[in-house]
Structure 1
Amino acid sequence: MGEEVLATKLARWVFDLDFDQLPPLVVETAKQMVLDQLGLQLLGATLPNVQPERRLVASMQATPESTVVFSGSGTVAPYAAYVNGALATSCEFDDVHGHAGHPGANVVPAALAFGEYTEASGREVIVAIVAGVQVMSLLGAATQLDMLRRGWHGAKVLGVFGAATAAGVLLGLTTDELANAFGIAGSDASGTMEYELAGGEVKRMHAGAAGRSGAQAALLARDGLTGPLTIFEGERGILRQFTGSADLSRIDRNWDHFHIQDVMFRRYPVIGSAAVVLDGIRHLMRDADWRWRDVAEIRLGLPAFAMGHGAVVTRPSDAVSAQFSTAFSVALRLVRGRNRAKDYFDPVLWTDPDVLSVVDKVVPYEADVAAEPQSLHCRVGIRLYDGRELSHFQRGFTDGSVVGKFRDNVTGLLEPTVADEVVDLVAGLDELDEVATLMRPLAVDPSRRVSR
């Protein structure tokens, strides 16, 4: 008998996972992902760039199986995953993972939607989230860096498998059914990053589309549809098609680790490689007396993947290109003193002369210094007109407080007492008999929005 194919091996790992196996840090991180996601979804519901997705789902008038956040209504579970996933990525503020990209927006909306649909407990939803992040991370260990180099959005490519896993766990799929769900989901694995160079708000839809496709794959597999079980390592499988190689050794080396523990929570609404730079800039601003008009040059030593992932954009044309521009984020921090989500949506700032004058002083260069090439790091060097040279090496970025971030994101959207209720419900997620209890306060009708 030949070696077990990867789809079956992954499905078997998922099938064997039990809540009692999960270390406390794993459970806590899953809860943080849920709270972070809910705050982002509520904030996203107010932004213009994801309203087409909201209107599309509302027009379907589908059976309200699962909550559509901040809409006063619901829809079928796969489309709740779709619209809530789009809301979660509306302002480039969701979580970051070295292998999985942005697992939260792909996995959590699907887990919550199918948790409601199947009347699952909080513990069952946590297991689904951990499993979905694990599958995305293991696959990403072998693909993420190569996909970035080729211009594929790794979180979108991998997201279909994370969502299929989360939905599959809650639907109670067998190992064979989940393996087939992976094979089915593979046909929807795609997503180019041309939006980085040419703009376009379609990027916001990627997580939602992955959630919908993966969830539908799980439903279809449960109903008997089959897919190619060699979807990952096969001659025309995901690994070869998106990276050019079917090297499974990187997956094997990363197998025995709960990857959800490595999820990072952004404190700025920017791409992860730019968040590292902003932390470096903040460090230098604390330690020296200087202002943005004193700056002659800003040199940024970035990992190779970040050179084509944010460093190339210098003239934003929409919110996506603004948030993907490392130089623009640096300029906002220096000139405006902050990096708020609303600033990236302001067309006036895209062409502000002061902001662009700083943008033009940013000089990125390749500086891979980490053993792990996907590591987030930056060498920040600032030369001032008076001759001073400032420098700092920043490895990784500082996580923001998830509770504080949630409260900031829902200010003016939820009454403070309701926000407190959601925080408490998520903190006790593992004790909830039904996850629907958590979703009820989030089904608020937007006409009841409180004043900021």
Structure 2
Amino acid sequence: MSENTLATRLAAWVTALEYDQLPPRAVEMAKLLILDQLGLQVRGATLPNVQPERRLVEAMKAAPQSTMVLSDARTVAQYAAFVNGTLGAAFEFDDVHMYAAHIGSAVVPTALAFGESTGASGREVLTAVVAGAQVMSLLGATTLRDMVGVGWHASKILGTFAAAATAGRLLGLTPVQLTDALGIAGSDAGGTMEYERSGGEVKRMHSGSAARSGSQAALLALDGLTGPATIIEGERGLFQLFADTRDTSGIDGLWDHFHIVDTIFRLYPTIGSAGPAIEAVGHLLTHDDLPWRDIKEIRLGLPAIAVGHGAAVTRPTDMVSAQFSTAFSVALRLVRGHNRPEDYMDPALWADPDLLSVVDKVVPYAMEFPPDAPFLSCRVDIAPADGRVLSHTQYGVRGHPSYPDTEDADIEIKFLDNVEGVISGPAARQIIEGTNGLERLDEVVELMSLTGRRE
């Protein structure tokens, strides 16, 4: 086996990582990711669109190793990760990352499920989360935009490798075994974004499927199965097949930065690129008289990838397409004054004539922003019938750690909103306290036991 492939380098880095090497902000961000995910999983467990996955696993009656959120049943770790990852991505509210797409719903369920099954401490779980996020980010730095541009779901593909690293770390794989696990994971990496065009709740399963496939790859490697060490940069590897390149040099300068700290927490349950448009419209509403019935046109200047990704979706036909439609999100903000999870789940709103009249006035176009502008930016120009043009350029979005209006407390509030009425108030507070002090927990099972209790 070559010692110089990207898989071997990643495996060596992951297996050598120690908790004491982690910067304080990386630890803090891992805790926030876990808290955010647990709230999303609890809320997701109440939704009908992800019940088939849970019923499938419950019917397996597998060994009760790990918790499935809000389920009376437990299952083997890889399928607990599958179910909980699906729940965590059930309504387009999980985190966003410019390199890794969506870290939390692939890495966190894997870390918690295998943390339970292996009796891992909170420190070990936090280290595994940071390690998985790093693998996902390093691989995505070269490939994410090309994947999305041709219709591959980067989160599903990258998440499979990240879950292999996360589970492999908790299973105690050697560098050679983890290299094999990454090689095996590559054979299960895939997933198209056709759901953007014609709907389909299968999208919610992609994070869970990545968690299951990647963690299963780690288990197989532990038991002796081998995989190609050149799975990433090889002639038929990840980079070539999904991004039409074999060049790994773009990663060389990225190893020393802990990329988990760049995670963006979504504060709107929509595709990430819709967030700046929502906030730009909100800015105009607070500064100008803007009756939505009098609007003639709404022009949205977006990064080119966002035009083909979310802005290409217009009239929704299901919850997925509602959340992916930037125009629908803008219409909700203008007509109803908010963008709540329930707004995207209501079939009556998908066909609401008032909302659709605004949707039809949205014109997205590709726009170049200044080189130092955050990728998630948007220019909005709204033309009312009186001849004015109201404009605002939104650089960045609340939820990014570098954005001045975002506080860690926002993630705690989001968690409490998601679990309200589902689990008890005392249990919710215990989860917050347990996550905040995760490095002091001897076994992560103490935290997961709280997620099975309904109010």
TM-score normalised according to structure 1 size: 0.97
Secondary structure class of the residue paired with 1:380: strand
* 1:115-194 equivalence runs, <5 A: 115-194=115-194
Give the superposition deviation at 1:386.
Answer: 1.7
**Identical pairs, percent:** 61
Aligned partners of 1:279 and 1:57: how far apart in 2? 39
Q: Which position in structure 1 is the counterpart of 2:95?
A: 95
Secondary structure class of the residue paired with 1:391: strand
Q: Is 1:442 the equivalent of 2:451?
A: yes
Aligned partners of 1:380 and 1:331: how far apart in 2? 13
Q: Which position in structure 2 is the counterpart of 1:288?
A: 288
Q: Which position in structure 1 is the counterpart of 2:16?
A: 16
Contact 2:373 2:396 in 1 (8 A): no
Amino acid at match of 2:40: L
Q: Which position in structure 2 is the counterpart of 1:335?
A: 335
| Gapped regions of structure 2 (runs ≥ 5) | 400-405
More moved, 380-389 vs 346-355? 380-389
Q: Is 1:77 the equivalent of 2:86?
A: no
Give the superposition deviation at 1:370.
Answer: 4.5
Aligned partners of 1:264 and 1:335: how far apart in 2? 27
Give the superposition deviation at 1:354.
Answer: 0.2
Q: Which position in structure 2 is the counterpart of 1:215?
A: 215
1:417 aligned to which of 426, 433, 454 = 426
Aligned partners of 1:424 and 1:337: how far apart in 2? 33
Deviations along 1:379-399, one digit per CA (max 9) or x if unpaired, are: 111112222221111122101
Amino acid at match of 2:441: L
Q: Is 1:403 the equivalent of 2:429?
A: no
Amino acid at match of 1:371: P
Pair 285,227 (structure 1): closer, same or farther in 2 beyond 3 Å:
same
Give the superposition deviation at 1:294.
Answer: 3.0
Secondary structure class of the residue paired with 1:329: helix
Contact 2:374 2:395 in 1 (8 A): no
Aligned partners of 1:161 and 1:374: how far apart in 2? 27
* 1:17-416 equivalence runs, <5 A: 17-371=17-371, 375-399=375-399, 401-416=410-425
Contact 2:276 2:394 in 1 (8 A): yes
Amino acid at match of 1:239: F
Aligned partners of 1:324 and 1:78: how far apart in 2? 29
Aligned partners of 1:2 and 1:333: how far apart in 2? 54
Secondary structure class of the residue paired with 2:116: helix
Q: Which position in structure 1 is the counterpart of 2:402?
A: none
Pair 372,181 (structure 1): closer, same or farther in 2 beyond 3 Å:
farther
Give the superposition deviation at 1:253.
Answer: 2.7
TM-score normalised according to structure 2 size: 0.96
Contact 2:382 2:391 in 1 (8 A): yes
Secondary structure class of the residue paired with 2:224: coil
Contact 1:73 1:443 in 2 (8 A): no
Secondary structure class of the residue paired with 1:437: helix
Contact 1:380 1:391 in 2 (8 A): yes
Contact 1:305 1:374 in 2 (8 A): no
Structure 1 segments (4+ residues) deviating >4 Å: none
Give the superposition deviation at 1:148.
Answer: 0.7
Give the superposition deviation at 1:371.
Answer: 3.3
State the aligned residue count.
446
| Gapped regions of structure 1 (runs ≥ 5) | none
Pair 217,250 (structure 1): closer, same or farther in 2 beyond 3 Å:
same
Contact 1:314 1:327 in 2 (8 A): yes
Deviations along 1:246-295, one digit per CA (max 9) or x if unpaired, are: 11122113222100000010010001001121111111112222232232
Contact 1:98 1:374 in 2 (8 A): no
